[in-house]
């Protein structure tokens, strides 16, 4: 056979061989995909049962096979292409996963902040009640000169016009007293707070005090046996007003006597004398 004839036959045999391989692959289950290409894909793929090769790559390989590339090259190139495609898909999924996580986390924080804002005002809305000051100690107290109206002849002329008509210089009232206050202290304070004149003196040879005058009425203004006396709970203590301490609930009466206490209920001196 001549050399010229051999050069014409060899390419034909190669083409026939490739066609035979494709026919066998098609009969074995391979097919040409008519799927429309998506973004980033080639115009079609050729499946050989082991892997998928793009239509563009098949065309290139077919052309190469005519010149020099063996059939095994198709499998190698297709394997690389599939690996790259899977890698790109994995990268795409990873990117979606990373973008999804912050969305879940951010949806929780606002709910927590709203709960805190709703509960904070209820803690600070309460106020403490004002303290209640305890009531001071009290006693009953009065100042009277009613006896002088029963003995007007004994009274200094004209003095009766300066005295209250009912004889009550300070009407019976409930008053507060301080711890340690005596009848003398309480009487002096009540007179001062109510604008009533008050005068006293110190008893000789003692530290005790003696009430001389209240409300323009003094001792001896209604005779030699007249003067101021006091009773506590209906009894006349035989001690100075500056010696008797006031107690809770005491009934104290400071009265003017025209007869050394007999006309006000005290018979001590009448019994002694």
Burial level of 59, CB count in 10 A (0-12/13-18/19+)?
Answer: middle
- What is the residue-wise DSSP string for 158-170? TGGGGS-TTSEEE
Please state the φ and ψ torsions of residue 258, each to the nearest 5 degrees: -95, -5
Burial level of 33, CB count in 10 A (0-12/13-18/19+)?
Answer: middle
Instruction: Provide the pLDDT for residue 270.
Output: 72
Tokens 């494709």 belong to 22
Mean pLDDT on 187-200:
98
Q: Please provide the size of the chain in residues.
A: 273
Domains in the chain, start-ordered, CATH in brackets?
Answer: 3-90 (no CATH), 138-272 (2.170.130.30)
Give per-residue pLDDT as tens, 58-77. 333 333 333 333 444 333 33
Give per-residue pLDDT as tens, 16-37. 778 787 787 777 654 444 444 4
Interatomic CA distance for residues 147 and 187, integer angstroms: 19
Q: What is the CA radius of gyration of the chain?
A: 64
Please state the φ and ψ torsions of residue 211, each to the nearest 5 degrees: -80, 120
Q: Which of 34-48, 54-68, 167-181 has maximum average pLDDT? A: 167-181
User: Quick check: 108 pLDDT over 70?
Assistant: no
Token digits of residue 238: 């035989």
Interatomic CA distance for residues 256 and 254, integer angstroms: 7
Q: Which residues pair with 214 in a beta bridge?
A: 198, 217
C-beta of residue 222 within 8 angstroms of C-beta of residue 228: no
What letter does residue 146 receive in the DSSP assignment?
G
Token digits of residue 60: 């290139």
């Amino acid at each position: 056979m001549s050399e010229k004839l051999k050069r014409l036959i060899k390419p034909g045999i190669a083409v026939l061989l490739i066609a035979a391989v494709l026919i066998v692959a098609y009969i074995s289950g391979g097919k040409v995909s008519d799927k429309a290409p998506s973004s980033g894909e080639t115009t079609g793929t050729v499946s050989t049962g082991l892997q998928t090769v793009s239509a563009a790559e098949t065309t290139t390989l077919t052309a190469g096979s005519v010149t020099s590339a063996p059939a095994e090259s198709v499998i190698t190139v297709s394997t690389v292409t599939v690996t790259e495609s899977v890698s790109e898909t994995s990268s795409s999924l990873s990117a979606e996963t990373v973008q999804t996580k912050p969305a879940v986390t951010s949806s929780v924080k606002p709910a927590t902040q709203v709960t805190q804002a709703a509960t904070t005002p209820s803690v600070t809305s309460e106020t403490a009640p004002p303290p209640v000051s305890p009531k001071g100690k009290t006693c009953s107290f009065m100042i009277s000169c009613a006896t002088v109206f029963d003995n007007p002849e004994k009274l200094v002329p004209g003095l009766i016009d300066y005295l209250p008509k009912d004889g009550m210089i300070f009407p019976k009232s409930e008053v507060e007293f301080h711890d340690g206050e005596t009848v003398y202290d309480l009487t002096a304070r009540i007179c001062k707070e109510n604008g009533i004149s008050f005068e006293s003196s110190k008893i000789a040879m003692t530290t005790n005090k003696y009430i001389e005058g209240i409300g323009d009425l003094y001792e001896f203004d209604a005779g030699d046996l007249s003067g101021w006396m006091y009773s506590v709970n209906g009894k006349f203590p035989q001690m100075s007003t500056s010696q008797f301490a006031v107690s809770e609930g005491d009934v104290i009466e400071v009265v003017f006597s025209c007869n050394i206490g007999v006309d006000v209920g005290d018979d001590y001196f009448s019994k002694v004398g």
